[in-house]
Structure 1
Amino acid sequence: MAYALFMRLLLVEDELEIQDFLKTSLADEGYEVDVAGDGGTAEKFASAKVYDALIVDLGLPDQDGIDLILRLRRQGVSSPVMILSARRSVDDRVAGLEQGGDDYLTKPFALAELLARMRNLLKRNAATSSSPMTLHVADLELDLLRRRASRGGELLNLSPQEFVLLEYLCRHAGRVVTRSMLLAEVWGMRIQPDTNVVDVHIYRLRGKVDVEGREPLIKTLRGVGYVLKDR
């Protein structure tokens, strides 16, 4: 299984328009998103990967979303679940929360509210998890929940892809990572194409992290790869 670089979400939604909108919006926020259009596919995903959270629509074509949540809980899936549904009554919301859901958002919804609720859901889950939500290398700090990076207290203006790349380097600080490792784990390219995407992103990232007046942290080992050095 690929190393979990960033927050991984499972979106269970059968409406294609909502699927595309949410997957794109969540990916723009730095989340890795798998999409299942029915309960059966969702169970297969959940049995193969560990997700930081699930977003589950109740009106699935093959089963009720509540039944899916109950089955996943019985199978040992403990990831927090945000229910997304057009069912708006108090009884529906209470039932969803009592049957294994951790939050309930009704359709139509505002993207800003969904993102805020997701951050809070992940934050609450992190409070009971042993996985750190902040990474530190020298004077570099990464806030994994808010997807923010800073150096010496100054916020770095990183793109989502640059953040993921820097997170991978931080998690492997002091160790050499090759271009093949980065292509596979950051870009998901199992077959190594003839591309300079890694070099371009490292160049841009270095320009933001290793600014003038600060000790360079990102080192290039010619012909080998890169290393983020913790002084």
Structure 2
Amino acid sequence: MYGSDVRVRPALAHGAGQHLLLIVHEPGVAELLSTTLKLAGYRTTLTGTGSEALERLSEQRFDLMIVDTSLPDMAGLSRERPVLAHRPPALLLTEYDSLDDLVPELGPGERDYVTKPFRVAEVLARVQVLLRDAHLGRPRDGSLSYRDLVLEDTLRQARRGTRPLALTPAEYRLLRHLLVNAHQVLSKEQIGRYVWGDHRGDNSIEQLVSRLRRKVDRDAPSLIHTRRGFGYWLGHAEDEH
């Protein structure tokens, strides 16, 4: 349920007054997100329709927007193609495990998604990542690469050379985290908080890394490595010397 994790965990409460636009139709979800984000140190403006959100976006600048893709007027917005001076990063709340049906006016630019029903901790984690990436100036085309490994954020696709990688959302997030931090060892706790919004003490991370490694390193030099007792890192072993 949406309200099952309403507490703001200190490790995730890193807001510094950034202004977030919440485009959410369901009153209960809107109240939960608004209250939690304010407690986490963000400023929020709430709208209940896409058309109202476009008005707000044309009037002022926001650092990020959270968009419920089940908005009643979302389909109509895909035909309007509004021209905005600034398109903030977008976190999408969706019922689906892919971005195939999402409307085009939300891009180009940084965007991520969580599937409903969502956990508040995961929303906070995704907000932090989007704001951080926007601040660091990630490529506008959303691409990240290491040698022949390429990840395209705008399409949510990855490939190794010419071979496409069929990744689950969790595998995609793990690969992105490893790419952004290439040649840096990431602990299980760091990976868990990025991928799921919290640390998992079971063997979920080992299993996730194993699945991703089989897809990425199949028939190619290994890029995903284990540093026993410390965590995991991405890179070519030769580049470590």
TM-score, structure 1 normalization: 0.58
Matched with 1:197 is 204
Q: How does 1:1-231 map to 2 (within 5 A)?
A: 10-14=22-26, 35-37=29-31, 41=35, 44=38, 48=42, 56-58=47-49, 66=52, 70=56, 73-74=59-60, 76-77=61-62, 79=64, 84-85=71-72, 115-118=101-104, 120-123=105-108, 125=109, 130-132=137-139, 133-189=142-198, 192-212=199-219, 214-230=220-236, 231=239
- The CA distance in 1 between the partners of 2:39 and 2:85, in whole Å, is 18
Q: Is the 8 A contact 1:135 1:143 kept in 2?
A: yes
Distance 2:235 2:157 in 1: 20
Identity %: 27
- Measure, in 2, the Cα distance between the counterparts of 1:135 and 1:156: 14
1:47-98 per-residue CA deviation (whole Å, 9 max, x = no partner) reads 7289xxx995339xxxxx7389639954x41547879445999xxx99xx69
User: CA RMSD of the aligned region, Å?
Assistant: 4.8
- Answer whether contact 1:151 1:209 (CA < 8 A) is retained: yes
Query: Once the 2 structures are TM-superposed, how far is the Cα of residue 151 of structure 1 from its aligned partner?
Result: 0.3
- Deviations 1:1-31 (CA, angstroms, capped at 9, x unpaired): 759xxxx995511177xxxxxxxxxxxxxxx
1:161 alignment partner, SS class:
helix
Look up the SS of the partner of 2:103 in the other structure: helix
Conserved? CA contact 1:43–1:72, under 8 Å: no
C-alpha distance in structure 1 between counterparts of 2:194 and 2:184, whole Å: 15
One-letter code of the match for 1:218? Answer: I
**CA–CA distance in structure 2, aligned partners of residues 171 and 87 of structure 1:** 32
Compute the displacement of 1:153 (Å).
1.6
TM-score, scaled relative to structure 2: 0.56
Contact 2:21/2:47 (8 A) holds in 1:
no
Task: Find the aligned partners of 2:99 and 2:175 in 1 and give their Cα distance.
Answer: 27
SS state of the match for residue 227, structure 1? strand
Q: How many residues align?
A: 181
User: Which residues of structure 2 form unaligned runs of 5+?
Assistant: 1-10, 15-19, 88-95, 111-133
Cα distance in 2 for partners of 1:113, 1:166 equals 17
